[in-house]
């Protein structure tokens, strides 16, 4: 039995995220082509890595049909020009797909089965809306295993507002405004662009174009504007398009390696994986998932919440981030939380988002050598949470 090895995050890139729909950046772009672009860019940026040394390609997609099907990790690896000797596979843990891709290959590296792996995710929600082609078992409702709202993410967010009456719509809107402001500042300061890979995108009516920036952010968003938005999930509700992530298209990918192999190949080691955990919660309040997953990951690492200097929390809904912060006694505007903004601004192409969190955390770590530990965490449809704790190697 091999001794467990340290696992490091080497590098990560993503496509700019587009708005889903016929007018979006990627309306006529294939999902697998976005993954291919990301894999090729990872290899281009890390010339010290011989392609045959990649031991696995794990790619997540929530809706695994059409151009997101065909064991997308393997098919994208072949399309990207990696040697045919490099295997690959597909993963589905809804929003935490790419996060699970990373933790899966990390386990393999730690065990000694792999030296270097590519992990990531893609979601083309314009081509494949969430829930396309699914056939939920009628027993879920007939046997009251879950509430009817559990399968509609916006309704689970309204349920979370019910559970945390202190989290008002105004607080959620204020958090959303801050996310947009932080994202705009991160762009202005050049913090986001280094990890975006330009993506060629074609539209029949317009010809070829180049996607070079996220399409979703709305800089200049005001509290006044958000207050006037409709609440589609409940009359007089608290969840709006303004305080939730959008419906988006995009792909992410990263290189994960054994620390000694990264050193051998001259690859950067940006952060070390300390621990990870996934947890289940009631599906009708799936937004609380990051609370138990973070508690478990902290316990496994022998750390407390006070040891964490940076938080990258996926902003599926503002209320879900605020519930996490309230539970751990962290202020709504704590500067450690999503310093570059989050999914409310950038968008949330479901299975790809976990690696976006890691890319941003590694960039923040590089700027903050005073911070030792950070976490990436997210809520997951069907009632789960996922958390990965990282150590800053800067």
Given the residues 124, 161, 254, 379, select the one marked as catalytic: 379
Q: Which residues lie closer than 8 Å to 25 by C-beta, 6 or more apart?
A: 16, 18, 19, 199, 201, 211, 215, 249
The tokens for 143 are 């046997």
**CB contact at 8 A, 338 and 179:** yes
Respond yes or no: is residue 254 known to be catalytic: no
Given the residues 95, 128, 161, 254, select the one marked as catalytic: 95
CA distance 73 to 98: 11
Given the residues 124, 128, 161, 348, select the one marked as catalytic: 348
**CB contact at 8 A, 351 and 95:** yes
- Got the DSSP string for 330-380? --TT-TTB-TT--HHHH---GGGHHHHHHHHHHHHHHH-TT--EEEEEEEE
Respond yes or no: is residue 348 known to be catalytic: yes
CA distance 253 to 121: 7
Active-site positions read: 95, 348, 379
């Amino acid at each position: 039995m091999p001794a467990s090895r340290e696992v490091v995050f080497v590098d990560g890139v993503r496509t700019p995220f587009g708005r889903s729909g016929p007018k979006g950046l990627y309306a006529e772009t294939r999902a697998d082509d976005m993954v291919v672009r990301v894999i090729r860019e990872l290899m281009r940026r890390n010339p010290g890595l011989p392609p045959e040394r990649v031991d696995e390609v794990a790619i997540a997609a929530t809706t695994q049909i059409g151009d997101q099907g065909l064991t997308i990790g393997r098919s994208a690896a072949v399309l990207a020009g990696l040697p045919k000797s490099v295997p690959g596979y597909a993963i589905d843990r809804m929003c935490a797909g790419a996060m699970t891709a990373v933790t899966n290959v990390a386990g393999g590296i730690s065990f000694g089965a792999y030296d270097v792996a590519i992990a990531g995710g893609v979601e083309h929600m314009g081509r494949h809306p969430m829930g396309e082609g699914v056939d939920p078992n009628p027993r879920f409702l007939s046997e009251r295993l879950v509430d009817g709202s559990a399968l509609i993410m916006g309704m689970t967010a309204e349920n979370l507002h019910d559970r945390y009456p202190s989290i008002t719509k105004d607080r959620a809107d204020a958090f959303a405004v801050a996310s947009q402001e932080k994202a705009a500042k991160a762009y202005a300061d050049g913090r986001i662009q280094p990890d975006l890979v330009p993506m060629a995108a074609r539209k029949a009516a317009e010809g070829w174009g180049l996607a070079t920036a996220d399409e979703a952010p709305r800089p200049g968003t005001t509290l006044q504007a958000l207050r006037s938005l409709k609440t589609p999930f409940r009359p007089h509700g608290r969840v709006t398009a303004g305080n939730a992530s959008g419906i988006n298209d995009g792909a992410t990918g990263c290189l994960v390696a054994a620390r000694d192999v990264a050193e051998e190949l001259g690859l950067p080691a940006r952060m070390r994986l300390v621990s990870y955990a996934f947890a289940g919660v009631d599906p009708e309040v799936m937004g609380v998932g990051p609370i138990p997953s973070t508690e478990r990951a902290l316990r496994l690492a022998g750390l407390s919440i006070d040891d964490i200097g940076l938080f990258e929390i996926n902003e599926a809904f503002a209320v879900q981030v605020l519930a996490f912060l309230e539970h751990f006694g962290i202020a709504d505007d704590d500067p450690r939380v999503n310093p570059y903004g989050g999914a409310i601004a950038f968008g949330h192409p479901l299975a790809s988002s976990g690696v976006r969190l890691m890319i941003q955390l590694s960039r923040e770590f590089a700027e903050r050598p005073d911070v030792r530990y950070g976490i990436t965490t997210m809520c997951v449809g069907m009632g789960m949470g996922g958390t990965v704790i990282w150590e800053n190697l800067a």
